[in-house]
Amino acid sequence: MSEVIDGIAAQNDVSQRQPAERKLRRRSGAPLRFVHGLAGLGLIVLAWWIATDLLAAPDSLEARFAPQATFSSLFQLLSSSDLALHVAVSLKRILVGLVLALAIGVPVGLVVGLNKTVEAATSPAFQLLRMISPLSWMPIAVMVLGVGDYPIYFLLTFAAVWPILLNTAAGVRHLDPAWLTLSRSLCATPWENLIHVVIPGVVGHVLTGVRLAIGILWIVLVPCEMLGVSAGLGYMILDTRDRLAYSELMAMVIVIGLLGFLLDAAARALHSRWLPASSE
């Protein structure tokens, strides 16, 4: 995670000063990095195999989580339409959570960033709320909103809103004063200033917030879906456990990892598409 963020910072600073040099280094380093990455993944599978095949007794519970069985279940899962359905349900929940978090986080973040009094008044409250694991609201959410999608939307939104809100507010504080002077010198109304300078000026920061939010959403999603719903990846985990389908359970764990990896890659791509344009 920290390496990913360093990568973004580097894109912001270093690329401006020595684009050619950086591109060269990237290009020659990329295949090697890929090989290293594959080797690391291979090592994990090896450790997994050692733990479930070599160290565990052949008929033990552990042996049922072995890689061979898992991968054959994984292929079965991937070829069934069932999995696609559950994935679609989960992704829809992520999307709803993200959209709600944006709808709340961006406007509130703009107000917090623009107004020093509001910032002072809300900062401790937000820092406190942010540190409460969204999962601790689970029982309350179910009591108030019932079982079904609504408590999940609530919990996901609650988890995702903080990085978006706080990054938006930080974005407003980091607006280039030259832009604000420019819009004043052009006689902009407060509304024109907001629409033409402040909002486009914070997009980069909002996207950073979105990236962090997607990571959090994905982590919070699975336990949220263990809450009396009948579809989704978290539900699948409990379902495979209840059916004692251990290799399938393990396959689901891998699916969750893979999908999360792809989501994060997509969020990163979105982020870096905006950055080259916005870094002056």
User: Distance from first CA to last CA of the chain, Å, rounded?
Assistant: 26
Among 37, 146, 190, 276, binds another protein (CB under 8 A): 276
Among 59, 125, 189, 244, binds another protein (CB under 8 A): 189
Give least dist CB 192 to another protein, A.
5
Which residues, in sequence order, are CB contacts of 16 under 8 Å at separation 6+?
279
Calculate the alpha carbon distances from 244 to 56, 65, 68, 200, 240 in Å.
Answer: 18, 11, 17, 52, 6
Count of residues binding another protein (CB under 8 A)?
24
Among 42, 200, 228, 257, binds another protein (CB under 8 A): 200
Among 33, 184, 241, 243, binds another protein (CB under 8 A): 184
CB 206 within 8 A of CB 275: no
Structure tokens at 6: 């360093």
Q: How far apart are CA 167 and CA 88, in angstroms?
A: 29
Binding string, 8-37, against another protein, x = CB under 8 A?
--------x---------------------
Nearer to another protein, 92 or 184 (CB): 184
Among 68, 192, 243, 257, binds another protein (CB under 8 A): 192
71, amino acid identity: F
Nearer to another protein, 123 or 279 (CB): 279
Q: What are phi and psi of 57, to 5 degrees?
A: -70, 150
Q: Based on the shown chain and the rule CB under 8 A, indicate whether residue 194 belongs to the binding site for another protein.
A: no
Nearest to 229 by CA among 161, 137, 145, 133: 145
Interacting residue ranges for another protein, rule: CB under 8 A:
16, 176, 178-179, 181-189, 192, 196-197, 200-201, 203, 276-280
